[in-house]
Structure 1
Amino acid sequence: MTDTSATDHLTVVRHPLVQHKLTLMREKETSTAVFRQLLREISQLLAYEITREMELTTRRIETPVQPMDAPVLAGKKLALISILRAGNGLLDGVLELIPSARVGFVGLYRDEETLEPVQYYFKVPTELEDRLVIAVDPMLATGNSSVAAIDLLKQAGAKNIRFLCLLAAPEGVARMKEAHPDVPIVTASLDDSLNEKGYIVPGLGDAGDRMFGTK
C-alpha cells in the first residue's frame, strides 16, 4: 500500500494510521470524546502531507558539537483558516504541529433548502498574499461552502492556498477544481457520492455534530 495517491488537484493520504483512525471515526458508536481525539490525531497526520512542499532556508546555529547551516522554514508564518464550525476540529490538531501559525476563521453555514453557503463571520490574518494559507474543513461535500470560503480568502489577498479535509465527495472535488483549479486538496478519503440531503456516502455523518455532541 502506498502512502498517498495523487493527481494535480487531489491527494488522498492512504497511510495505514490515517485509514485506521478514519475507520474508527466512521463507526456510529464512536463517542463524541473519542471522535474529537481521533480528529485531532488524524489532522496532524494529514498536516504532514499538506505541508510537504513548504519552502526552506537555512540559519546558522551552534550544535553541542559544531556550528552548522541548518534548515528552517522560509517566509512569513503560514495561515490556518478554519471554516466554522467543524473546521475547528482539524485546526486544533494542526496547531499542535505548527504552533507558530497565524489563525483565521470563515463562518459559513449551509442553507438546508438550497444547499448554498451563507456567510456570517470572516476574520483572517494580515498579509495573506505573503503566506501559505491552509483552509481546513472536515467535509468536502457539495463544495459550495469550500468554494465560497476560498473566494473570500482570495478577495483578502491569498495567493498560495491549500485545502485540507477529512473526507471528500467526487461532486465536491469537481466543484472545487472547476472554481479553484490552483488550490490543491489533501484528504484521507475520496468517498462514493452524495445522498439526496447533500451528505457524503458512506461518510461519517455530520462532523460538527459528532465533534460537539449536537444534533
Structure 2
Amino acid sequence: MSDHDFSDLRALFVNCSLKGASEPSNTQALMDVAIGVMEKQGVGVETIRAVDEDLVPGVYPDMTEHGAASDGWPAIFERVLAADILVLGTPIWLGEKSSVCTRVIERLYGNSGQLNDRGQWVYYGRVGGCIVTGNEDGAKHCAMNVLYSLQHLGYCIPPQADSCWLGEAGPGPSYADPGSGGPQNEFTQRNTVFAAWNLMHLAAMLKRSGGFPAHGNQREQWDAGCSFDHPNPEYR
C-alpha cells in the first residue's frame, strides 16, 4: 500500500455548532475544507451535527441506565469506534468552545475507562484534531482545551492538528459569509489542509503498525501487579 493511500481510513467529523443541520454553519464550512482533502484521498468521512442528536448530560456510557428517558450517545459511540480519525469542530462563544462541544467531550469521557482488545484504554490507536471558528479571540485557547481533552482520553495528536478562522472582533461577517475573506485567507486554508494531511499520516502509521504499542500501558496487567519497571520496587 502506498504511503499516500489512505483508502483504509475512516474519519468522523463532529460539528459542535449551536445551529441545527437546517441552518448554515460556518464551522461546517471550514470543516468541509479538511473533509474535501480527506475524501480526495479515499478516506471514508462521516459528519455529525451534534446539536441535532439526543445527547443528554452525563459521564456514563448510557445515561438511560442512570435515569435518562433516552440517550443517543451509545449509537454515536459506535461511530466513534469505527473511525480512525476524530475531528471536533466548534465555534467560539465568550472565548470558550461551545457548550455542545463540552458535552461531546464529556460523553467521550464516559467511555474512556473501557479497554480495547489489547488491554489499553479504548481510544488508543486513534488520532484527534479540531477546527475552530469565531468572531472573537480564543481560537488557540479552544484548540488547547479540545486537543488536551482528546489526548487525555487516549487519542494521539499529530503535529499541527488544529486550524481556525477569526473574523473581526465583535459583530461582523462569519467565515462563510460573502466578503468575509475566510475562504481566501491563506493562513487558515494552509493550516486546515496541513491538519488534514497530518491526521491522515498519523492515523495510517498507527493503523498499519497494529495500533499504539501495547506495553507499559495495559490496565489489566497493572491491576494484576505488573509494575512496568516502576522505579520504586516497594510500590507494588
Q: TM-score, normalised by structure 1?
A: 0.40
Which one has the largest radius of gyration?
A: 2
Q: Which structure dedicates a bigger proportion of its chain to helix?
A: 2
Q: TM-score, normalised by structure 2?
A: 0.37
